[in-house]
Amino acid sequence: MRGAEGEAARAYFGVFGYMVRGDRDSFEMDGRTRRPPRDRVNALLSFLYALVRAECSAGLEGVGLDPQVGYLHALRPGRPALALDLMEEFRPVLADRLAITLINRRQLQAEHFEALPGGAMHLSDEGRKVVLTAYQRRKEEEVQHRVLKHKLP
């Protein structure tokens, strides 16, 4: 199963950059890079994924589950495997969608990122502030379930 997921992720991130409209030069992406992220889109995704992972870990601990003991992700010391399993459900709707929204609405611009030695890229302090504010707002939004017709947080 992990092999199929890896192939799907490569295909997904291979076309992810095509969702960027407008300033494509500043937000060019050629696949997923991490540790370190090599471009602005990957830096933004890494930051958002860290936020989602932290919230999943906290939520699991809050209901008495050990975030270290997962099912899909390999068990390694210090790695919250169950939180990583859980966050897969939230990545596209929370992190990926928010990243594209922030870029396409020009709420994040090239100036919100800093290049580091060795080719790494990360969000500036101001960039993190913009992302954190938008992330908190996104979590507070309610959506209408298409079938049940109920509003869901």
**pLDDT of 100-140, one tens digit each?**
999 999 999 999 999 999 889 999 999 999 999 999 999 88
- For residue 118, being part of any structural domain is answered with yes
- Please name the amino acid found at residue 73: H
- For residue 115, being part of any structural domain is answered with yes
User: Own/partner pairs for 24-31, CB < 8 Å, 24+ apart?
Assistant: 26/109, 26/110, 27/103, 27/110
- For residue 152, being part of any structural domain is answered with no
pTM of the model: 0.86
- For residue 81, being part of any structural domain is answered with yes
Structural domain count, the chain:
1
Enclosing domain of residue 17: 2-134
Q: 1-10 pLDDT, tens per residue?
A: 557 777 887 8
- Residue 26's domain is classified under what CATH number? 1.20.120.920
Q: 27-68 pLDDT, tens per residue?
A: 888 888 788 999 999 999 999 999 999 999 888 889 887 776
- For residue 150, being part of any structural domain is answered with no
